[in-house]
């Protein structure tokens, strides 16, 4: 039986449909008077699991060229825990986990429930409200994207991911294209974060990014486009074990419920200071333990949500629960939290500097550059120091100072906990110090929030 050929709608009727639909999607941009150049298109590329160290070791001529023509942040910190589902949601919303109420360790569960679990507005949703077009490839956290191709379709395939991106650019010209290369994470874990296999993968991804630039050039929109290259978290190599049995033995007879992940253990218990102090005393000086986070640190990290637990153990570099692969992530070491961030193209002042960014700053910055409203409930700031425009940077210096203090305070309380665990200070001294830091933590987070609002107000 032969297949029938579908009828084709006459060209004049197609034009009429297009004209009518155009009335529903007006493109009214927000004020951007302070910008000298204004991008109309943003291509946001996430190299999943790639630390600054790995990226800088790889042969990546295109990314190097983007860096030369743009800005490479001196520091860019991701959120905690450094796991893919949580970090991608913060990247797409500009919000801390405590704002999104979203922490998940299961990637497969993430694909199913992220749209309902995340309580913050995404950059895609904010973009769409202005009638702009957004697209997402392998980015489940970009809820609301007009065009979406899921991780299940091409997440493992670099070439296919790139071809889908080229197709979407040519067919739809989205104002925001948000895409993730997942193979960089997969191979970093299997072979090691700085292995030959990982560096070769980065070299290939780099050539794919060049093909996307060529695509924008063919479409004659390269000059009005902005490229952002970043990561969700880094990966540490692992060769030593901190097994569950060691932790279970240390917390024997304590009324706590531990939940184990690759590089973290989360403790749930009733609100009793005695239990918390005992956990700190028993675990902080244990071999392989980097931090034993309690409320002060979780507030400083923007991760103070019930599902993370009342206390969280994070491991040193090289340590994990089980040696299945050569690399993993989830903890709070420099290689896991300090990610690359490159902004290059329209709207960016290539002679500028970003001294201290966070992953939550990316969505607010993109929104401002496109002239769309900030994602609702975003905690991050606009990276005005990197933009080509007339901006006062006094508040930027202040917020950078506050962020450095936050980072320093996390290490300070860690030192105090080790001293308590080693009996160098008594419980009363430890509690006094912890309470002092808790007050300081709340004060610093309020300062960060206030300065973020000041920067936004100065832009609008």
Question: pLDDT category, 8, cuts 50, 70, 90?
Answer: confident
DSSP β-ladder status, 327-328 and 225-230: unpaired
Q: What is the pLDDT of residues 39-54, one digit of tens each?
A: 999 999 999 999 999 9
Q: Is the pLDDT of residue 106 over 90?
A: no
- The pLDDT of residue 32 is 84
Q: Is the pLDDT of residue 459 over 80?
A: yes
Q: Residue 147 has which token pair?
A: 């065009």
DSSP β-ladder status, 341-345 and 264-268: unpaired
- The pLDDT of residue 272 is 83
Mean pLDDT of 170-195: 96
The end-to-end CA distance of the chain, in Å, is 64
Mean pLDDT of 407-422: 95
Share of the chain above pLDDT 90, in %: 85
Q: Is the pLDDT of residue 341 over 60?
A: yes
0.85 exceeded by the pTM? yes
Q: What is the pLDDT of residues 202-236, one digit of tens each?
A: 999 999 999 999 999 999 999 999 999 999 999 99
Question: pLDDT category, 2, cuts 50, 70, 90?
Answer: low
Q: How far apart are CA 220 and CA 277, in angstroms?
A: 62
Q: Is the pLDDT of residue 313 over 90?
A: yes
- The pLDDT of residue 19 is 82
Domain boundaries for CATH 3.40.720.10 within the chain: 37-235+333-391
Mean pLDDT of 111-122: 89
Q: How many CB atoms lie within 10 A of CB 186?
A: 17
Cis ω for the linkage preceding 372 (within 30 of 0): no
Collapsing DSSP to helix, strand or coil, 343 comes out as strand
Q: Is the pLDDT of residue 398 over 90?
A: yes
Q: What is the mean pLDDT of the chain?
A: 94
Mean pLDDT of 374-387: 96
Question: pLDDT category, 368, cuts 50, 70, 90?
Answer: very high
Mean pLDDT of 241-256: 95
- The pLDDT of residue 432 is 95
- The pLDDT of residue 273 is 82
Q: The domain 37-235+333-391 is classified under which CATH number: 3.40.720.10, 3.30.1330.10, 2.60.40.1180, 3.40.50.300?
A: 3.40.720.10
Query: Whose CA is closest to 158, among 196, 198, 126?
Result: 198
Question: pLDDT category, 3, cuts 50, 70, 90?
Answer: low
Q: Is the pLDDT of residue 194 over 70?
A: yes
Q: How many CB atoms lie within 10 A of CB 301?
A: 25
- How far, CA to CA in Å, does 445 sit from each of 38, 301, 302? 31, 9, 8
Q: Is the pLDDT of residue 68 over 80?
A: yes
């Amino acid at each position: 039986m032969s297949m029938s050929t579908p009828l084709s709608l006459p060209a004049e009727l197609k034009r009429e449909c297009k004209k009518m639909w155009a009335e529903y999607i007006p493109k009214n941009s927000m004020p951007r008077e302070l910008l000298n150049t204004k991008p109309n298109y943003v291509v946001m590329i996430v190299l999943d699991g790639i630390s600054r160290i790995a990226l800088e070791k790889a042969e990546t001529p295109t990314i190097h060229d983007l860096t030369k023509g743009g800005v490479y942040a001196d520091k860019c910190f991701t959120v905690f825990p450094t796991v893919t589902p949580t970090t991608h949601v913060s990247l797409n919303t500009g919000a801390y986990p405590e704002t999104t109420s979203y922490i998940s360790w299961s990637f497969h569960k993430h694909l199913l429930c992220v749209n309902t679990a995340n309580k913050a507005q995404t950059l895609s949703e904010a973009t769409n409200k202005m009638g702009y077009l957004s697209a997402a490839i392998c980015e489940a956290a970009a809820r609301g994207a007009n065009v979406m191709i899921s991780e299940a379709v091409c997440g493992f395939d670099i070439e296919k991911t790139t071809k889908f991106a080229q197709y979407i650019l040519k067919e739809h010209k989205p104002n925001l294209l948000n895409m993730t290369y997942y193979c960089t994470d997969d191979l970093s874990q299997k072979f090691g974060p700085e292995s030959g296999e990982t560096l070769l993968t980065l070299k290939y991804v780099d050539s794919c990014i060049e093909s996307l630039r060529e695509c924008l050039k063919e479409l004659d929109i390269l000059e009005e486009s902005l490229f952002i290259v970043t990561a969700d978290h880094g990966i540490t190599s692992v060769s030593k074990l901190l097994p569950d049995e060691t932790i279970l033995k240390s917390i024997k007879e304590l009324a706590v419920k531990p939940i184990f992940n690759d590089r973290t253990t989360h403790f749930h218990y009733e609100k009793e200071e005695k239990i918390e102090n005992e956990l700190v005393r028993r675990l902080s000086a244990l071999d392989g333990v980097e931090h034993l986070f309690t409320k002060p640190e979780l507030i400083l990290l923007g991760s103070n949500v019930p599902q993370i637990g009342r206390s969280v153990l994070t491991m040193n570099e090289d340590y994990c629960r089980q040696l299945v692969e050569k690399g993993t992530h989830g903890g709070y070491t420099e290689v896991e939290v300090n990610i690359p961030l490159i902004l290059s193209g329209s709207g960016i002042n290539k002679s500028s500097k970003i001294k201290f960014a966070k992953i939550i700053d990316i969505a607010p910055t993109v929104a401002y550059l496109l002239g769309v409203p900030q994602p609702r409930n975003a905690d991050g700031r606009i990276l005005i120091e990197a933009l080509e425009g007339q901006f006062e940077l006094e508040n930027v210096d202040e917020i950078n100072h506050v962020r450095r203090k936050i980072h320093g305070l996390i290490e300070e309380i860690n030192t105090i906990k080790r001293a308590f665990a080693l009996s160098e200070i008594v419980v009363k001294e430890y509690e006094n110090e912890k309470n002092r830091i808790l007050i300081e933590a709340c004060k610093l987070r309020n300062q960060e929030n206030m300065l973020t609002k000041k920067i936004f107000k100065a832009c609008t």
